[in-house]
């Protein structure tokens, strides 16, 4: 995977996701808890957040970890089980909407037909009220493409109880096509 730089458009999307989740002010409160690391005279001086998770996975809310894991199992029912019966799954990059847990299963099934080794690695996230934001890396190999891809993805989940009522995926479709070695106007066969 190539090194990624945060671009203004993605920054706006992440900020919007934070606002949607209702946690926009959490950053300043968390950063005020910073404690000094080793003495300033020592090499490698660092600051560490008090109570900050030690492992990347711990920064992702439990439902976000289950969501990411369900994309990796290959059993389309695993993902669908996380959603309410009347859920709405929206892929913003492709402007596609799927309704109900059956729609979620249909979306994952179609995705797996088009993308081999489809995976999502959750690298961060947060929860505020009934909203969860999951950050990560979406990867796979589009059938027939010269190369695999691995791109950043942000998903905003809205919960009802312990289930997902709606989800919105945000990623750059053009970046997936470019990394895959496909032209910008490529469409799946039969579309």
What are 63-92's pLDDT values in tens digits?
A: 999 999 998 887 888 999 999 999 999 999
pLDDT at 173: 95
Euclidean distance between CA atoms 11 and 7, whole angstroms: 6
Q: How far apart are the first and last CA of the chain?
A: 28
Over the chain, what is the mean pLDDT?
A: 77
What is the H or E stretch that residue 114 is in? helix 100-114
Top-confidence residue, 29 or 133: 133
The tens digit of pLDDT for each residue in 28-64 reads: 333 333 333 333 333 333 333 334 344 455 689 999 9
Which residues are 128's β-sheet partners?
A: 131
Top-confidence residue, 53 or 114: 114
Residue environment code for 106-120, b if the CB has 16+ CB neighbours within 10 A, otherwise e: bbbeeeeeebeebeb
What is the H or E stretch that residue 12 is in? helix 8-21
3-state helix, strand, coil in the chain (%, to 5): 35, 35, 30
């Amino acid at each position: 995977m190539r090194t990624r730089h945060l671009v203004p458009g993605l920054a706006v999307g992440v900020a919007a996701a934070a606002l949607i989740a209702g946690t926009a002010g959490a950053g300043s409160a968390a950063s005020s808890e910073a404690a000094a690391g080793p003495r300033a005279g020592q090499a490698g001086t660092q600051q560490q957040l008090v109570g900050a998770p030690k492992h990347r996975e711990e920064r992702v809310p439990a439902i976000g970890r289950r969501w990411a894991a369900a994309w990796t199992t290959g059993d389309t029912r695993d993902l669908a089980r996380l959603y309410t019966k009347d859920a709405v799954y929206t892929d913003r990059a492709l402007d596609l909407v799927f309704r109900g847990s059956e729609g979620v299963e249909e979306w994952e099934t179609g995705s797996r037909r088009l993308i081999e080794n489809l995976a999502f690695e959750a690298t961060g996230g947060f929860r505020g009220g009934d909203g969860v934001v999951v950050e990560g890396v979406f990867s796979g190999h589009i059938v027939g493409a010269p190369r695999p891809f691995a791109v950043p993805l942000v998903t905003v989940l809205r919960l009802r109880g312990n289930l997902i009522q709606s989800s919105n995926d945000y990623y750059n479709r053009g970046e997936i096509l470019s990394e895959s070695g496909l032209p910008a106007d490529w469409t799946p066969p039969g579309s």
